Structure 1
Amino acid sequence: MTRAQALRAGMTLAEITHRVRSGRWQRLFAGVYATFTGPVSREVWRWAAVLRAGEGAVLSHRSAAEEVGLCRASQGPLHVTVPAARRVTAPGGVVVHRCRHVRERRHPSRQPPQTRIEETILDLAVGVPPEEAMGWIAAACGARLTTADRLRRALRRRGFVPGRPVLTSLLDDAAEGCASVLEWRYLREVERAHSLPAPARQWRRPRSGGYWYDDLYYPGERLRIELDGQAAHPAETRWRDYRRDNAAVQSGDTVLRYSTGDIFDDPCRVAGQVADVLQRGGWPEPAQPCGPGCGLLPADPGRDWIVEGASLPVL
């Protein structure tokens, strides 16, 4: 609650002062109070930052992302955006951004006041490395908070945007079904760089009581590829992943599983392995080297296939 809100509700300055001095209220910022005792959560601090920033202020950037669960609450600064015409002195622990279009970018119903999810993602994706930008885009689309098309429309509504071509390209990749940075790196460094065919992404297949979701699937060659990023495949879900892989093999499919290290450190080897299995399934073309120093391994149809660095279940 702000001091102005308390006064409008009928309290006096003396009553406010007494409640703060007695410990019943806690002063968070100048003129902003927590009307309870005990620990102050990050959620309360976000509300307090908006109240302290005043009229027209909204949560934005990482603070808005925290509010919708796109990232964990941190101990870093709180971010708010205010109308460009206002001058707000940022209190300690708060970063104040100014924007001419803050009213249009505000979410129509969420509380505390905050930017729309599309605007939040674009705020976070502008001016950062492509991998970090893709992380925000994939997180929002993967959580079904927005879509690549909605993000593209929001981008078009903005004027000058540094790195617009890069952002547009990342949104195109997200529209193809990349639901994580790891899947995006596979698309760029493995699939496109080595002229592999495009798989179906986020392939859904029925199972008892629901569906299995495969990261990548080549239906014609009966090849499923799982990319084990820590966010999408934490240790506690390992046995579920094993059951899914076993069911796929039982149905006649081949399963290859790769870790973050495989895709980031040796995409050429991964491309060679995928191409080898695809050729066994009937794909007629070999993988192509990505450049002069490509470490693409030649296919050897006579050898037994082992996915290095992976721990595949045995039926």
Structure 2
Amino acid sequence: MDIEDLIAGQDGVVSRAQALASGLTEDALTWLLRSGRWRRVHAGVYATFTGPLPFAAQVWAAILRAGRGAVASHRTAAYLDGLCDDPGPTVHVTAPAERHVRGKVDGVRVHYAHRLALTRHPAKTPPRTRVEDTVLDLVDTASHPREAEGWVTAACQRRATTPERLADALARRKKIRWRAMVEAMLTDVAEGAQSPLELRHLRRVERAHGLPTGCRQRRVAGRRVIWIDVDYEQYRVRVELDGRVGHTGEGRFRDHQRDNRATVDGHATLRYGHADVFTDPCGVAAEQARVLTARGWTGTPRSCRPGCPVDTRDHRRLLASEHQ
């Protein structure tokens, strides 16, 4: 390949081996470096321009330093594919497991994988892992289950992949951290839960306490389309789960408008945030059970553990008083 085309395709970065294979002589390469027209980024890897190194060029430099078959992976691949908005301070690349990159590479973390030929995306540049494998790599390295939840739900919420494709990729992996949780999550996400907060409500509030199953992410069309996080339509009860994104400033004003319209239409709206659902799911369940019962639910909630404030006896007394 012509060296100019090669450099253009690699965001202005080239390896020593590539330059020599393209016909550049040792003397010419030495002159380019000494004159400042090219500069060293890593051992045997050069930027062919001056000024700051754009992120894509940093990625190419890390891949070329890691050598044949290496690809961007983990958070770096996630950023390239729009799964997150911050690439972080380190460029992550994965190399085939049969090779080893010698020496420390500044600003780069090299991972190794036996299945890289299967997880590498066939066409994207810079080379990177497939979206589903990027998500699972990040799940596998997550230090906390909530972090793993965040990667799965972000990938689905940003429409970069689907629960079905993630489940297929997961089935092909023999070992992965948090497997049982992720398998359960993928079923939940397919049912409409789109954030760790919504997943927590589904599992620790609704299911754990035997509450009726709500309709998640329900689209309601009127003068303007609105989305309801959890809708118990039969009982005219709605639950809104407020994460930080989308519920500040203008988003918060829209939430108030939506709640007011719901009240006018005869719906009760319960609104909870992270502090409610993550730290007191039992208290949230007890409150929801009382509101649902007052609006016609005849089921019985259950305590999820000793000391759970969901008291079935109090619930039966409330139900009896409602029907007197």
Q: Normalised by the size of structure 1, how large is the TM-score? A: 0.86
Which residue number in structure 2 is paired with residue 309 of structure 1? none
Q: Deviations over 1:77-109 (max 9, x none)?
A: 221111222222251222222222211111122
Structure-1 separation of matches of 2:25 and 2:260? 69
Alignment partner for residue 122 of structure 1, among 118, 136, 142? 136
Which residue number in structure 2 is paired with residue 96 of structure 1? 110
Alignment partner for residue 50 of structure 2, among 15, 24, 37? 37
Shift of 1:234: 4.2
Alignment partner for residue 92 of structure 2, among 79, 84, 101? 79
Shift of 1:25: 3.2
Q: Which moved more, 1:6-15 or 1:193-202?
A: 6-15
- 2:253 counterpart letter in structure 1: W
Asked if 2 retains the 8 angstrom alpha-carbon contact of 1:85 and 1:100, the reply is yes
Distance 1:260 1:235, change over 3 A: farther
Asked if 1 retains the 8 angstrom alpha-carbon contact of 2:262 and 2:269, the reply is yes
Shift of 1:258: 0.7
Q: Does 1:202 align with 2:217?
A: yes
Q: Does 1:178 align with 2:193?
A: yes
- 1:3 counterpart letter in structure 2: R
Structure-2 separation of matches of 1:207 and 1:174? 26
Structure having the larger proportion of residues in helix:
2
Asked if 2 retains the 8 angstrom alpha-carbon contact of 1:59 and 1:80, the reply is yes
Structure-2 separation of matches of 1:84 and 1:224? 51
Q: Which moved more, 1:95-104 or 1:291-300?
A: 291-300
Q: Deviations over 1:5-35 (max 9, x none)?
A: 3334443334434443444433221122222
Which residue number in structure 1 is paired with residue 183 of structure 2? 168
Gaps of 5+ in 2: 1-13, 320-324
- 2:201 counterpart letter in structure 1: Y
The total of aligned residue pairs comes to 301
Which residue number in structure 1 is paired with residue 159 of structure 2? 144
Shift of 1:232: 4.6
Alignment partner for residue 205 of structure 2, among 179, 182, 190? 190
Q: Deviations over 1:260-281 (max 9, x none)?
A: 1111121122111111221122
Map 1:244-283 → 2, pairs under 5 A = 244-283=258-297
Which residue number in structure 2 is paired with residue 291 of structure 1? 305
Shift of 1:250: 3.3
Shift of 1:231: 3.2
Structure-2 separation of matches of 1:206 and 1:7? 63
Percent identical pairs in the alignment equals 47
Which residue number in structure 2 is paired with residue 105 of structure 1? 119
Distance 1:151 1:21, change over 3 A: same
Which residue number in structure 1 is paired with residue 83 of structure 2? 70
Q: Deviations over 1:109-163 (max 9, x none)?
A: 2211111111111111125332221111111111111111111111111223344
- 1:48 counterpart letter in structure 2: A
Shift of 1:235: 4.1
How much is the aligned-residue C-alpha RMSD, in angstroms?
Answer: 2.4
Asked if 2 retains the 8 angstrom alpha-carbon contact of 1:42 and 1:73, the reply is no
- 1:16 counterpart letter in structure 2: L
Gaps of 5+ in 1: 303-315
Structure-1 separation of matches of 2:31 and 2:239? 64
Q: Does 1:226 align with 2:240?
A: yes
When Rg is computed on C-alpha atoms for both structures, the one with the higher figure is: 2
Which residue number in structure 1 is paired with residue 230 of structure 2? 216
Which residue number in structure 2 is paired with residue 306 of structure 1? none
Q: Deviations over 1:172-220 (max 9, x none)?
A: 22222221111111112211221111111111112446x3221111111
Q: Normalised by the size of structure 2, how large is the TM-score? A: 0.84
- 1:171 counterpart letter in structure 2: L
